[in-house]
Structures are given as C-alpha cells and as structure tokens.
Amino acid sequence: MARIEPRTFTLEDGTQLLIRTGEEDDAQVMLAYLDDLDGTTDHTVTMPDERDIDEPKERAWLRERLDNPGELALLALIDGQLVGELDVRCAANRRVIRHHAMLGISVRDGWRGRGIGSALMITLIDWAADHPFIEQLRLGVFADNHGALRLYEALGFVREGVRVRAFRRDSGDYVDDILMYRDVKDRQGVALPAT
Ligand SMILES: CC(C)(COP(=O)(O)OP(=O)(O)OC[C@H]1O[C@@H](n2cnc3c(N)ncnc32)[C@H](O)[C@@H]1OP(=O)(O)O)[C@@H](O)C(=O)NCCC(=O)NCCS
C-alpha cells in the first residue's frame, strides 16, 4: 500500500501547501482538474478528445496506486483546491526492473512557477529514497518544455537519452522526448537527499 504522511510546505509568498496521497474519493476532483488542464499545456501526450475516463475509472486508477507498493499518487492542495498532482509507477512484480519508477507531474495553470512542482518532486524523492526497492526515478519530457527541464535538473535529474521525434503534434511538428533519471539511493542503498 503506497501512502505518505501528509506534508505541508510554505511557499515563498507564505501560502501553505498541503501534499497528501490521492484517495479514491478524490476521483471527481481529479477529473475536474484534468478538464481545467486542457488547453493550458502542449506538453502532455493525451489530447483532451482522447481522454477516456469517468469517475469509476478514475477511482480504480487511484485505487491501483494505493494497492501497488511501487506506485503513488500525490495531490497538492491550497485551501482545499487541487493545484497539482504527481504520479509514479513501477513494475513491482518484476524483479529485474522494479528498482526504477516512472513519474508524471502537472501543476494547475495560474499556480505554476511558485514552487508547487518542486514540493511535489521533493516529496516523491523522499518517499522513493525510503522505499524498500525503488532506487531510481525516471521520466520523459518534451524537448521544448524548458521550464520542466529546469525543474528536473535543479533536483538532480540527468539526461540519459533522447527518443528522436517521439511526439508529433496536430500541427505536424515533431518534438524529441528527453529521457532523464535520478538515483534516490547510492550503490550501498543509502538514501540520497532530495535537495
Ligand atoms: C512543469 C511543471 C510541473 C513545473 O511545476 P511548477 O510548480 O511550475 O514548478 P516550480 O514553481 O516548482 O519551479 C521550479 C523550478 O523549475 C523551473 N521552472 C518551472 N517552470 C518554469 C518555466 N515556465 N520557465 C522557466 N523555468 C521554470 C525554474 O527553474 C524553477 O526554479 P526557480 O523557482 O528557481 O525559478 C508545471 O509548469 C506544469 O504543470 N506544466 C504543464 C504540464 C507539464 O509540462 N508537465 C510536465 C510534463 S514532463
């Protein structure tokens, strides 16, 4: 069961940010959040008209994160409003690859650039560093997502490869996928701090 103790961050402007595990009952709020995300970023791989989820499916998705020991869904809330989310998945039932986990993250438009993404990532790194079998975090990022690249590099992620022209926008433009990873433990298994 993947859960964290709720954690509070104080943003630079003094705003209190709560980060906690996503629960099944958050499904409706998550769906509304995803609707609001539409049109605010061209750095996601699922287009609004391709999203095929409803409340039961979203509940099941959140349940899966809770049930799988190598997976986690984190929500970021300010005054009860969902302002960001992060999820991480790993193949916990495959010994050869279960030491790495793949993450995805987003922050609500209007709240970006205030430290919420960093707080979500720090919470994830701390969880992973303390995890019994996860040793590395991995992600893929659009090569033109300069803000996200800066965030990841600031937190110690390094570029490990490029999937050339992995993304094709409706405009016909291609964008490379930059693959990045970050160790959360050293070779002796000692946790590496988030910052
Ligand atoms: C990428 C994203 C999750 C970052 O979250 P965030 O809350 O905006 O990030 P933070 O405020 O914690 O920023 C942390 C650092 O990242 C960098 N950064 C983040 N957004 C940036 C931007 N738009 N331009 C330049 N740098 C940026 C900065 O270096 C910043 O450090 P600073 O505070 O010293 O300036 C958010 O912008 C987002 O949701 N974007 C749309 C969806 C998306 O791209 N998801 C990632 C897919 S891989």
pLDDT at res. 1: 66
Q: How many angstroms does the Cα of residue 137 sit away from the middle of ligand 1?
A: 18
**Cα three-residue angle 18-20-21, rounded to 5 degrees:** 160
Q: Is residue 101 part of a domain?
A: yes
Q: Is residue 104 part of a domain?
A: yes
Chain-centre distance of CA 194, in angstroms? 15
Residues 6+ away with beta carbon under 8 Å from 35: none
Report CA-CA distances (Å) from 173 to 136, 140, 149, 169: 32, 18, 20, 5
Given a contact cutoff of 8 angstroms between Cβ atoms, the answer to whether 51 and 35 are in contact is no
From the CA of 40, give the closest atom in ligand 1: 41
Q: Is residue 31 part of a domain?
A: yes
Which CATH number covers residue 50? Answer: 3.40.630.30
Which of 86, 87, 82, 144 is closest to 109 using CA atoms?
82
Q: How many angstroms does the Cα of residue 147 sit away from the middle of ligand 1?
A: 5
Q: Is residue 193 part of a domain?
A: no
From the CA of 43, give the closest atom in ligand 1: 44
Q: For the whole model, what pTM was predicted?
A: 0.95
Q: Is residue 192 part of a domain?
A: no
DSSP H helices, 99-145, are 116-129
Residue of the CA atom closest to atom 3 of ligand 1: 106
Q: Which domain holds residue 85?
A: 7-183
Q: How many angstroms does the Cα of residue 96 sit away from the middle of ligand 1?
A: 32
Q: How many domains does the chain have?
A: 1
Q: Is residue 2 part of a domain?
A: no
Q: Is residue 174 part of a domain?
A: yes
Residues with CB under 6 A from ligand 1: 41, 43, 105-107, 112-118, 141, 145-148, 150-151, 154
Q: How many angstroms does the Cα of residue 84 sit away from the middle of ligand 1?
A: 11
pLDDT at res. 193: 87
Q: Is residue 113 part of a domain?
A: yes
Residue of the CA atom closest to atom 25 of ligand 1: 147
**Cα three-residue angle 156-158-164, rounded to 5 degrees:** 150
What residues in the chain have per-residue pLDDT under 50?
A: none
